[in-house]
């Protein structure tokens, strides 16, 4: 293992990708994801763990929750942090490409990054190739999905459902209308497919305390069992988030309540 060598821009791009796929409390040398990435980088898990904690010192979203990163970040660390977040539409897909290349993932294959299982590459399905433009969008979406789901602990924020195949990384501000926020983890909610659909068309929303609100249209469907069990049972309950998660942006939720929610 290499020790004592300076971090390169390429390595920091991968570290920034990983940073947003884990929560602060998961930046440990024992985390299977960190072990896997560190091995691929030729670094020790403890070194990668420390670098992620250094990067956390620049994260204002964590500071809002009273969480501070480690001191000792380099000038290059700060430069890369600023560059990455100044243009997520470009930097996030680029980081996903670099992350996938690190693990030798084919273009059509799928990757899962979870604190429990580490990094897994799934066999590429057969089918037509995609254009580079489409591939860029896909890489951005993959980055966003992994970041949002892991920020919520791999569970639906409303119900706690933890079947990953049934979870959606929902955009608070719509993908098509807010390009600069498309890949911002604070613009994401981890919801079941049912609750994602309801949120998207304004049947549900979340208040300033992140508590579930039901629209009049949805309430009018009561006492249907499906509505009662999937929605009414959670009305007024706050989104389920881990203590070190990055919170959804309240400004974005306020826009959704005003522009989309069917009061």
Please count the CA atoms within 13 angstroms of the CA of 201 that sit on its side-chain side: 8
CA dist., res. 103 & res. 247, Å (int):
30
pLDDT of residue 1: 42
Q: Confidence class of residue 49 from pLDDT cuts 50, 70 and 90?
A: very high
pLDDT of residue 263: 81
CA dist., res. 63 & res. 43, Å (int):
28
Whether the pLDDT of residue 131 is over 80: the answer is: no
Contact at 8 Å (CB) between 232 and 203?
Answer: no
Q: Which residue has better confidence, 90 or 133? A: 90
The rounded Cα 44 to chain-centroid distance in angstroms is 25
Q: What pTM, to 2 d.p., does this model score?
A: 0.88
pLDDT of residue 2: 44
Least-confidence region, from 22-26, 32-36, 120-124, 140-144: 120-124
| Averaged pLDDT, 100-127 | 86
Residues contacting 233, CB < 8 A, separation 6+: none
What tokens appear for 74 in the block? 């380099």
> What string of DSSP letters covers 83-139?
HHHH-HHHHHHHHHHHHHHHTT--TT-EEEEETTTEEEEEPPPPS----HHHHHHHH
Whether the pLDDT of residue 40 is over 80: the answer is: yes
| Averaged pLDDT, 134-142 | 90
| Averaged pLDDT, 47-64 | 96
Q: What is the pLDDT of residues 59-104, one digit of tens each?
A: 999 999 999 999 999 999 999 999 999 999 999 999 999 999 999 9
Q: Residue with structure tokens 């993908």? A: 175
Q: Confidence class of residue 124 from pLDDT cuts 50, 70 and 90?
A: low
pLDDT of residue 135: 84
Going through the chain in order, the beta strands assigned E by DSSP cover: 110-114, 118-122, 167-171, 188-192, 204-206, 212-214
Q: What is the pLDDT of residues 144-191, one digit of tens each?
A: 999 999 999 999 999 999 999 999 999 999 998 998 999 999 999 999
Q: Which residue has better confidence, 102 or 4? A: 102
Q: What is the pLDDT of residues 190-237, one digit of tens each?
A: 999 999 999 999 999 999 999 999 999 999 999 999 999 999 999 999
Alpha helices by DSSP H, the chain: 9-19, 32-41, 45-55, 60-63, 75-86, 88-102, 132-151, 193-200, 216-219, 225-230, 250-259
| Averaged pLDDT, 41-47 | 97
Domain ranges of the chain: 9-151, 164-259
What tokens appear for 60 in the block? 């204002």
Contact at 8 Å (CB) between 37 and 102?
Answer: yes
Angle at 63 (CA atoms; ends 186, 148), nearest 5 degrees? 25
What tokens appear for 71 in the block? 């001191």
Q: Confidence class of residue 107 from pLDDT cuts 50, 70 and 90?
A: confident
């Amino acid at each position: 293992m290499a020790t004592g060598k300076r971090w390169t821009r390429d390595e920091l791009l991968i570290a920034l990708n990983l940073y947003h796929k884990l929560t602060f409390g998961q930046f440990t040398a024992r985390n299977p994801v960190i072990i896997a990435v560190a091995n691929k980088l030729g670094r020790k898990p403890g070194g990668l763990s420390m670098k992620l904690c250094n990067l956390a010192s620049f994260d204002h979203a964590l500071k809002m929750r009273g969480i501070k990163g480690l001191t000792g970040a380099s000038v290059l660390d700060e430069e890369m942090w600023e560059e990455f977040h100044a243009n997520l539409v470009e930097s996030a897909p680029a980081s996903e490409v670099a992350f996938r290349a690190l693990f030798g993932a084919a273009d059509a294959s799928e990757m899962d990054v979870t604190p429990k299982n580490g990094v897994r590459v799934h066999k590429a399905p057969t089918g037509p190739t995609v254009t580079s433009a489409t591939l860029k969008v896909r890489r951005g979406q993959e980055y966003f999905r992994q970041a949002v789901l892991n920020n919520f602990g791999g569970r639906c924020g409303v119900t706690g459902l933890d079947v990953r195949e049934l979870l959606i990384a929902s955009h608070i501000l719509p993908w098509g209308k807010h390009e600069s926020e498309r890949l911002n983890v604070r613009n994401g909610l981890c919801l079941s497919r049912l609750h994602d659909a309801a949120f998207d068309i304004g049947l549900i929303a979340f208040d300033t305390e992140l508590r579930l609100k039901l629209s009049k249209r949805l309430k009018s469907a009561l006492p249907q069992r499906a509505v009662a069990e999937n929605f009414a049972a959670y009305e007024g309950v706050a989104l389920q988030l881990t203590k070190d998660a990055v919170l959804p942006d309240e400004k974005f939720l306020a826009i959704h309540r005003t522009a989309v929610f069917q009061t």
